[in-house]
A and B are shown apart, each in its own frame.
Chain A
Amino acid sequence: MRGRLTLFWILLAAAVGFGLFHVKYKVQALEDDLRTLNAAITDEQEQLHVLAAEWAHLNRPGRLEALAQRHLDLQPTGVRQIGTIETISFPAPPETLARQSEKAAR
């Protein structure tokens, strides 16, 4: 009886020890992963930062204007090109059109 109990305790201690080291190594591995990921994230953030600066540089209004003049037929909006919504004559809403065509079909 006594021997069995001792054996039980020894086994239990061994199992707990094994479990402890297993968890410890796993945590270490995970921490390594985390560090790598964090480094990757910082790298990405830095690249985003550089790209944001490049984006701002390439979107200088002066550059865009020159490009638009060279490649597009667009001009600054004139006063006469700005109107109110009331001045536009809209076509009839689509459902009435559908109803009309239904009537015509009948």
Chain B
Amino acid sequence: MTPKPITTAHLDGTAKQAMEAGRNRLLVAGALFAVTFTAIAFRLADVTVVKPAGEPAIAAVTGSPAFTAGRADIVDRNGVVLATSLNTASLYANPHHVLDPREAADRLHQVLPELRPAELMGKLASERSFVWIKRHLTPRQHYAINRLGIPGLYFQREERRVYPQGPLFSHLLGFAGTDGIGLTGVEKKFNGSLGAGSKPLVLSVDTRLQHILHEELTAATARFRAEGACGLVMDTTTGEVLAMVSLPDFDPNAPERSPDESRFNRATLGVYEMGSTFKIFTTAMALDSGTVGMTGGFDASRPLKVARFSITDFHGKNRWLSVPEIFMYSSNIGTAKMAMAMGTRGQRDYLGRLGLLRPAGIEVPEVGAPLVPSPWREINTITISYGHGLAVSPVQVAQAVGSVVNGGILRQATLLKPLKGERPKGKQVLKAHTSQSMRRLLRLVVTGGTGRQGDAEGYLVGGKTGTAEKTGGRGYREKALVSSFVGAFPINAPRYVLLAVVDEPHGNKQTMGYATGGWVAAPVVSRFISRAGPLLGIAPVDEESDEVRRALEIKIPTAARGKRGRTLASF
């Protein structure tokens, strides 16, 4: 008997164990479920009551309107629109839907008088199912045609690049083709960003100054029956180009209507032998390197003979000339001797530093590379000293002259307006003291030398004339000139550099047959400055005041070295 209870107890033990295990499992499962459900409950409360996710309390504005007209605008420094894209309506017809071609043609002719009724008739009665009637309607024409209510006429929206200023900025802006791709000028250079962005591209140019320069150059071209002309205005403190004109020009709204020659940008792509304008650089480098001082000079009494060449002076004085006199009378002999004293290497180094041996970095694709002599012999050194034998683009000249007058800092000419507070860093290429002396010399040319017609009362112009014979076929052609004037103002603290180049001018009665830089290009600069001075915010100064005299006075040793010269107040 005894074993049984044991067995039972044993059995009881197993059953109890099973029960225990079952209860435990139930408890664990129950606890898990309880935890899970509690978690779900909390989460539910959390997402629905505490912080509703998904649905924001205030709906975000969806699809806020932003009008884009395709290609971005181009504006000038003051925000004047220079190029913009307009959505225009183009009229086409489906002749199958036109009920009465004759009546439709007659009524259309009233709105679009430039289309001949017979031609319209033919189009509207044709067997095709699509004919263009007129591309790019004006909004007024669009409205009028809509009002006619002729069945079978439809409109197609198209984008069109419009240049509201017409031919004023032709070479600078360039133009975009019908497919909206920039083909020349700024339109080509910035094609990517213009096509992608909606923010306007801000250029450094000023429409008002561009207009004045354009008008004065056009007048000079007509007066001297010139082949073309170009000019540019640059801010020497930043390198910004404020105006840049090349003539003849074209209307970028319809470039196909102008001859191909008119597309040529003389200001950036054309390279010219600048003539005496280059004496600025020769004199500056001679002073800067210490080759000669302001009181030094050279004998210019006899023509200079080098190899088979003979160098003579246009305004010959036939005596010893001091540096200021050489510059003032634009003496080739004196300048050539100055360059010979410099040496070929020194000259090439300085010209390189002034950016005259490499293409300008201006933001148009049409940039001309300078024509540099190779090999660079002594005769090249001599001719380059007075601007023959090295052809450079007008932009390069303006840039380099900017560095000569602004304290010796070369700043690359740019067409983009720098961001506020940003000032492009330049490179010191000349000593500040050299720049000081050069200002006096440039003023002297205008007060007493070859550039008298470049003066503008009150604005203290300093400058240098240049007249070069154009190379043609073999050697130089005497009658084909490139006349130029480069000016800086106000010369006591130069801010603006202005270059005018007239290509192949012909002298007339008023100029007594002369077509030199002093007669042709200097008046352009003078008139531009008198008209633009007030716009640029430059207060005219009293040229007789002590302050001005002190800043620009110059001592000209006349006879021989060491002898006391007369002091010439240059104002």
Contacts and interface: CB of A to CB of B under 8 A. Distances in A.
A76 B64 contact: no
A42 interface: yes
Contacts of A77: 534
Contacts of B162: 53
B458 interface: yes
Given A62-B211, A79-B459, 14 more contacts: A38-B64, A41-B65, A49-B84, A49-B86, A50-B86, A53-B81, A53-B84, A56-B80, A56-B81, A56-B82, A57-B164, A61-B207, A62-B215, A76-B531
11 contacts: A45-B65, A46-B87, A53-B81, A53-B86, A53-B162, A53-B164, A54-B164, A55-B81, A60-B168, A61-B207, A79-B540
Interface residues of A, number: 27
Question: B65, B69, B86, B539: which has the most chain A beta carbons within 10 Å?
Answer: B65
A52 B165 CA distance: 12
B420 to A, nearest CB: 23
A56 B164 contact: yes
B192 interface: no
A82 interface: yes
Contacts of B457: 79
A42 B67 contact: yes
B530 interface: yes
Interface of B: 61, 63-67, 69, 80-82, 84, 86-87, 139, 162, 164-166, 168, 207-208, 211-212, 215, 457-459, 530-531, 533-534, 539-540
Contacts of A49: 67, 69, 84, 86
A53 B88 CA distance: 13
B456 to A, nearest CB: 8
A35 B64 CA distance: 9
Contacts of A39: 65
Contacts of B64: 38
Interface in A20-77: 34-35, 38-39, 41-42, 45-46, 49-50, 52-57, 59-62, 65, 76-77
A79 B168 CA distance: 27
